[in-house]
Amino acid sequence: MKRIHFVAFIFALAAIIPAAGQRPRQRRRTPAAPAVTMRLDYAGAEALLDALGRDSLSDADVDGLLRVAGLRAMVDNVTRFIPHVGAREFREEIKTFARTKKGGRHGRIFQLDDAWRERSRVRDLVRAVRADERRIVGETMAQLRPYLPDTGPLPITVYFVAGGVSDGFAFEHDPKSFYANLVRAGGDRDGVVANMAHEAYHAAQFAAQRRAGVDAHWVTNEKMPPAERVLAGTLSEGTANYAADPTRTKAAGPYVESARERYRRNAEPARVAENFALFDSVLKGLREGRMKWEEAYLKGFTRDGRENDDRFYFVGYEMAKALERHCGRRCIGRLFEQPPAEFFRRYVALYRTRPEIRGRFSRETEEFVFSLR
């Protein structure tokens, strides 16, 4: 043991013992770092718009475009939904568009004509978001924070893109990124925030499920039984719809107003009953082998006018809303620590004791979700 000089010991002791009548000093606590952070990347949208403005593109030019992370992801997202269309078709389409300024054989898929038409508004949005990044990220996270699951540290890169088949998208194998299509925002800054909030919640879901050891990948997971894919998709999209609910904000841009109208439409009692009945019908068709996954996906998870209206997004939304009302916000985030069927079991158990809850499943659907483990 080291010897301590007596005088030095007295001074050291005086430094740590407060004088009579003084309170000991409180140590300042360093704020905990946020679990989820965001970095914004504009290269995909900017590269596509620059390319569309040229008179022609060589193979080497297109090779360079396909090396831009956000742009390549837009192409890969097309392939995810339309397997026979990918980089080769994009190469043909963008070279044709550069020469003619018109869409080619795959124009409706890659939607380059929409990107070209909206180019001024997209560039304006990029400038507006760049100038106010901190506030926009803050607004996005403020919507999500009450519902975030246990992700652990999660740095997310937000890739802004132009064109393609989705408003926004995330890949289940990569919870550290998502993509937002600025063309679909219609020049609406608040629409960008709404889109980011929805997709960021997907990234958080994937990270939390991976952390909990739950494999709930459903979009391209052909090994998962189709009926269970519907359960997983309804959990994923329904809770993202709920966490990013535009009816809880004061934003007033055209994209957000359009989304609000869709939310209100699907909240009408007759539509709620219709959506739940469609869910029962699709699940039954899949289980009996009378319906293919592609048809089920089209009916429940796509939007094309009022017929295909993201119906199962709003089934999951109603479920999440009821669970929060009776269990609290933290219950939403905890859903991603368990298999998707548990979401349904908890909801069914809840409405059996709460007659005011409108959305109900058939007895057959109830028996199915309780049979899963």
For the segment 111-130, what is each residue's pLDDT rounded down to a tens digit? Answer: 999 999 999 999 999 999 99
Query: pTM to 2 decimals?
Result: 0.87
In the prediction, which pLDDT does 303 show? 86
56 occurs within a structural domain: yes
Q: How confident is the model at residue 270 (pLDDT cuts 50, 70, 90)?
A: very high
Average pLDDT over residues 243-262: 91
343 occurs within a structural domain: yes
According to DSSP, the β-strands at 177-181 and 168-169 are antiparallel
Average pLDDT over residues 95-122: 95
144 occurs within a structural domain: yes
- Total structural domains in the chain? 2
The verdict on 234 and 133 lying in the same domain is no
Q: How confident is the model at residue 81 (pLDDT cuts 50, 70, 90)?
A: confident
**Are 242 and 369 in contact, with CB atoms under 8 Å apart?**
no
Q: How confident is the model at residue 20 (pLDDT cuts 50, 70, 90)?
A: very low
Tens digits of residue pLDDT in 127-152: 999 999 999 999 999 999 999 999 99
25 occurs within a structural domain: no
The verdict on 201 and 235 lying in the same domain is no
The verdict on 55 and 115 lying in the same domain is yes
In the prediction, which pLDDT does 35 show? 86
The verdict on 115 and 45 lying in the same domain is yes
The verdict on 149 and 185 lying in the same domain is yes
The verdict on 49 and 88 lying in the same domain is yes
Q: How confident is the model at residue 373 (pLDDT cuts 50, 70, 90)?
A: confident
The verdict on 188 and 270 lying in the same domain is no
Mean pLDDT for the chain?
A: 90
1 pLDDT above the threshold of 80: no
Q: How confident is the model at residue 219 (pLDDT cuts 50, 70, 90)?
A: confident
282 occurs within a structural domain: yes
Range of lowest pLDDT (38-52, 190-204, 207-221, 286-300): 207-221
Burial class of residue 87 in the structure, from the number of CB atoms within 10 Å of its CB (0-12 exposed, 13-18 middle, 19+ buried): middle
4 occurs within a structural domain: no
The verdict on 139 and 54 lying in the same domain is yes
The verdict on 199 and 240 lying in the same domain is no
267 occurs within a structural domain: yes
Q: Return the structure tokens found at 115.
A: 């990107």
The verdict on 196 and 300 lying in the same domain is no
In the prediction, which pLDDT does 8 show? 38
219 occurs within a structural domain: no
Which residues constitute the domain of residue 51? Answer: 38-212
The verdict on 43 and 172 lying in the same domain is yes
The verdict on 204 and 287 lying in the same domain is no
